[in-house]
């Protein structure tokens, strides 16, 4: 069994102490390096975490069973944002518990039991509290692959790899998990999603903004790219460096927190004085097909200005087509080879070999040593 996998690393020493006491950690409320990203979402994650801890403590007390939280319950306990949409038939409100065999299944009100390979479950479980455990972030992501569409799975992967206190895993760790564990439901979908995932984001809406541009042939910009302006280092949400274009997502926190507002005004003013085009995007612009189409057209106009040629957003394609590493979806006017990296999705490889639905490394112990 792992020791506090994903919990200690995400919350620091204080978080580990809280876990030993059987209480949800407070690490989710930590600020990032700039000291200004205590987003409202972090408080919501902490509340969901505390509620799930309470539910599992109560279930453990009532049943006396050795519980291991999985699926959505694992996400909540680890402090990870829960997806918005699931496949039909999945009960997101239930408590989700993993067991190692059919013999351990039993009827429990409000609980969904999932049978997981016993050796895998032991390897990928850590102590969440004295009386119950939680699966690793990598196993939780693999479990969610079977109940999410590809779009939601990419967003979840980004959420699990956020920068700072909310970084629960890395793309390398997810690839290692997939390489050493075959046969789980949704494995092929997870392999397809990995090239579209990005580390070090700040919010799920940044990912939605990035995917919106990519699905309309405008490429996938760099996330949280460091930009030096006026002698200070700032991070842009979605950055196209060669075009000198920055897309910034403004959530409710940006609009209601005066300090954050001043921070945004200062950094964006600096960028603009240095010749960058900066577009602020709100949640409303991502809400409907019509608003998303209009946003894509506005982004294309910024690119036209930067390239001094006409760029038009293409019709939206599904993420499944965007994930096809054999093809590029690229708007006319974006052919410049300096922009190639914004359209390139590299296939998932491990030890020089491309991973596919049926490929798997047989030596499970190697994965165990890497994750310890």
Would you list the domain boundaries of the chain? 8-199+360-371, 204-335
Q: How confident is the model at residue 260 (pLDDT cuts 50, 70, 90)?
A: low
Predicted confidence band at 164 (pLDDT cuts at 50, 70, 90)?
confident
CA distance 28 to 49: 10
Higher pLDDT, 5 or 129: 129
Confidence grade of residue 14 (pLDDT, cut at 50, 70, 90) = very low
Per the DSSP assignment, residues forming a β-bridge with 127 are 133
Here the tokens at position 52 are 């799930």
* 369 band by pLDDT with thresholds 50, 70 and 90: very low
- How many other CB atoms are found less than 10 A from the CB of residue 351? 8
Q: What is the CA radius of gyration of the chain?
A: 21
DSSP letter for each residue of 235-296? EEEEEEGGGTEEEEEE-HHHHH-HHHHHHHHHHHHHHHHTT-EEEEEEGGGGTSHHHHHHHH
Burial of 333 by CB count in 10 Å (0-12 exposed, 13-18 middle, 19+ buried)? middle
Q: What is the DSSP letter of 230?
A: T
Class of domain 204-335: alpha beta
Strand 245-250 relative to strand 232-240, pairing: antiparallel
The runs of H, that is alpha helices, within 40-135 are 40-63, 71-78, 118-123
* Arithmetic mean of pLDDT, 294-321: 97
Tokens encoding 249: 């997502």
Write the pLDDT tens digit of every residue in 219-238.
Answer: 999 999 999 887 888 899 99
pTM: 0.85
**65, 70, 75, 79 alpha-carbon torsion, rounded to 10°:** 30
Strand partners, 39: none
CA distance linking residue 37 with residue 24, whole number of Å? 21
Indicate the pLDDT class of residue 126, thresholds 50, 70 and 90: very high
Extract the tokens encoding 257: 């927190």
Q: How confident is the model at residue 42 (pLDDT cuts 50, 70, 90)?
A: confident
The mean pLDDT of the chain is 85
CA atoms within 13 A on the CB side of 12: 10
The average pLDDT across 93-114 equals 93
Q: For position 233, what pLDDT does the model report?
A: 86
Q: Tell me the average pLDDT across 299-312.
A: 97
Mean pLDDT over residues 38-66, rounded?
88
**Confidence (pLDDT) at 231:** 80
Q: Which of 3-12, 257-266, 310-319, 328-337 bottoms out in mean pLDDT, i.e. has the lowest?
A: 3-12
The HSE-up count of residue 74 (CA atoms within 13 Å, CB side) is 33
Question: Percentages helix, strand, coil for the chain, rounded to the nearest 5?
Answer: 45, 15, 35
Q: Whole-angstrom Cα distance, residue 94 to residue 67?
A: 14
Beta pairing class for 125-129 and 111-115: unpaired
**Model pLDDT, residue 312:** 97
Question: What is the number of other CB atoms lying within 10 angstroms of the CB of residue 295?
Answer: 22
Q: Nearest-CA neighbor of 78 among 130, 129, 10?
A: 10
In this structure, are residues 133 and 127 in contact, taking their beta carbons and an 8 Å threshold?
A: yes
Structure tokens at 2: 């792992």
Range with the lowest mean pLDDT among 19-23, 31-35, 107-111, 209-213? 31-35
Confidence band of 267 (pLDDT split at 50, 70, 90): confident
Give the percent of the chain with pLDDT over 70: 83
The helix (H) or strand (E) run that includes residue 134 is strand 132-135
């Amino acid at each position: 069994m792992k020791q506090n996998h994903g919990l200690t690393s995400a919350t620091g020493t204080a978080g580990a102490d809280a876990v030993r006491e059987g209480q949800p950690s407070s690490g989710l409320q930590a600020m990032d390096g700039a000291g200004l990203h205590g987003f409202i979402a972090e408080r919501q994650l902490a509340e969901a975490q505390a509620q799930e801890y309470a539910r599992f403590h109560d279930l453990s007390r009532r049943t006396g069973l050795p519980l291991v939280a999985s699926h959505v319950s694992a996400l909540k306990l680890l402090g990870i944002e829960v997806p918005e949409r699931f496949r039909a038939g999945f009960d997101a409100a239930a408590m989700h518990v993993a067991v190692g065999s059919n013999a351990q299944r039993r009827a429990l009100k409000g609980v969904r039991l999932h049978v997981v390979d016993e050796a895998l479950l032991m390897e990928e479980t850590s102590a969440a509290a004295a009386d119950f455990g939680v699966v690793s972030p990598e196993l939780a992501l693999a479990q969610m692959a079977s109940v999410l569409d590809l779009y939601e799975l990419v967003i979840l992967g980004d959420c699990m790899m956020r920068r700072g206190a909310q970084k629960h895993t890395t793309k390398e760790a997810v690839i290692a998990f997939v390489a050493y564990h075959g046969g789980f439901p949704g494995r092929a979908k997870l392999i397809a999603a990995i090239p579209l995932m990005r580390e070090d984001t700040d919010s799920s809406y940044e990912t939605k903004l990035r995917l919106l541009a990519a699905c309309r042939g405008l490429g996938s910009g760099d996330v949280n790219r460091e930009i030096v302006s006026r002698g200070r280092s700032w991070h842009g949400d979605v950055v196209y460096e060669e075009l000198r274009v920055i897309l910034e997502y403004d959530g409710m926190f940006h609009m209601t927190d005066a300090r954050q507002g001043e921070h945004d005004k200062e950094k964006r003013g600096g960028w603009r004085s240095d010749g960058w085009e900066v577009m602020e995007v709100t949640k409303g612009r991502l809400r409907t097909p019509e608003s998303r189409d209009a946003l894509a057209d506005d982004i294309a106009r910024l690119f036209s200005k930067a390239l001094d040629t006409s760029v038009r957003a293409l019709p939206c394609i599904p993420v499944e087509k965007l994930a096809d590493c054999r093809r590029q979806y690229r708007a006319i006017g974006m052919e410049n080879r300096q922009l190639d990296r914004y359209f390139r999705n590299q296939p998932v490889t491990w030890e020089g070999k491309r991973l596919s639905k049926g490929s798997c490394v047989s030596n499970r112990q190697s994965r165990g040593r890497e994750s310890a």
